[in-house]
A and B are shown apart, each in its own frame.
Chain A
Amino acid sequence: MEQLIEQLKAQIIEALNFEDMTPADIDTDAPLFGEGLGLDSIDALELIMLMDREYGIKLADPKAGKAIFQSVRTMAEYIQANRTK
């Protein structure tokens, strides 16, 4: 799980163009949206695409993403449970 979390942080940084950030800068349990990283609606859609591309998870309903993307940890747990790659 820890390895997945580290990998996920690096993937998020790359997918969302956080140029000046390293995985160490991302708090695993901090909110991704709102405060924390302050992601927006396009970022949410990009994370949905990331899950498909890297882990083979298709999320049809973007609203379901709210719970999944609460933090890096919740996202990693969801990926762990549902990955097909």
Chain B
Amino acid sequence: MVYCIGHSIISPLGEGSHANLEAVQAGRSGLKLYTHRFADVEPFCASLFDTPQDFVPLCIKSVEGAMSSQPSVVSLQSSETIFIVSTTKGDDLDLLTPAKTIAQHFGNPNAPIVVSNACTSGVCAQITAMRLLEAGLYRHAIVVGCDIQSRFIVSGFQSFKALSPEPCKPFSPDRQGLNLGEAAATIVYSQQPIANSQQPLWTLEAGSIHNDANHLSAPSRTGEGAYQCLMDVMGGITADQIALVGVHGTATMYNDAMETIALERAGLQDVPKSVLKPFFGHTMGAAGVVETILCAMQATNRQSSIVQSSIIKMLSGFGGVNAAIRLRV
């Protein structure tokens, strides 16, 4: 297991993890209708920054935010620290250069790792961090998730007719599809807990990735890959020990149906769900990082007994990929 010792979120709902949590708790959503943001694109509902942001400065700000909240044990210049960037379209379709720019900005000597595993990237990046730290290859991992919306992305989702013209309604019978979003979020993971300091914010205990091997853009009707991931990360605990499941909940007909089946098969249908896309939209490469942070904060708030200290975060993505992690708060 590895230890979260710092995190931050920057989104249209605010700067800082707490600001974003407060917005969600107050029921504020970043979703709005955009008619002229991108040329030729039909009107779409999304959660976007008022002022268009650039990928690299946004990520740098996000890392700085996470670092300011951790107890100064992590040296970003150390070769024992690795940057892991989670993104689907990077900075104008280039994923590697911005990641290198970010790592170099902080004086880190290692080539960064970019995880590009479609919408599961943010969870997969955390799993990658956990593995690298557990194997003793690094002592700290800075996991940064970010995606900025663009004409490229919006036009593509429109060609899929996957977008809802209104704020999305995950798991509702009259859901019409997803909304896109943008954000940057960072989690600082440490191989060891920090001595003489407050409790780690959470521990990352397990992770699993499975492909449905069924279709590139539609999930398995039986939720096969998602179910396998859930069963893997639930090993050793029972449903009543789980405080919260952070679902993917994109509000497309197929995703939500599949996710419901996978949760039922895993016996998690009665566990409270954290459904965050009505607030942030689908933030693609940032989703896994943003939503993990918020789920951990939500679960910390609502723990009803000491038994319920585990949370699960799950995601699915194009290419048939599914991923899940289990945290202890």
Contacts and interface: CB of A to CB of B under 8 A. Distances in A.
**Interface hub of A45, A49, A62 (most chain B Cβ within 10 A):** A45
Interface string B211-222: 000011110000
Interface residues of A, number: 7
A41 B159 contact: no
Contacts of B161: 45, 48, 62
Contacts of B160: 45
A54 interface: no
A49 B161 CA distance: 11
A41 B161 CA distance: 11
B164 to A, nearest CB: 13
Nearest to A60: B161
A48 B218 CA distance: 18
Contacts of A77: none
A41 B253 CA distance: 13
Contact of B217 (A41, A48, A49, A62): A41
**Interface hub of B160, B161, B217, B218 (most chain A Cβ within 10 A):** B161
A49 B215 contact: no
Interface residues of B, number: 7
Interface in A1-39: none
A42 interface: yes
Contacts of B159: 45, 49
Contact of B215 (A40, A45, A48, A62): A40
Interface in B203-253: 215-218
Interface string B156-170: 000111000000000
A61 B69 CA distance: 48
**Interface hub of A42, A48, A49, A62 (most chain B Cβ within 10 A):** A42
Nearest to B254: A41
Contacts of A42: 216-217
Contacts of A62: 161
Nearest to A46: B159
Contacts of B217: 41-42
Nearest to A59: B161
A33 B216 CA distance: 18
A41 B215 CA distance: 10
A40 B215 CA distance: 10
Nearest to A40: B215
Nearest to A65: B161
B118 to A, nearest CB: 15
A26 to B, nearest CB: 24
B43 to A, nearest CB: 12
Contacts of A40: 215
Interface in B19-47: none
11 contacts: A40-B215, A41-B217, A41-B218, A42-B216, A42-B217, A45-B159, A45-B160, A45-B161, A48-B161, A49-B159, A62-B161
Interface of B: 159-161, 215-218
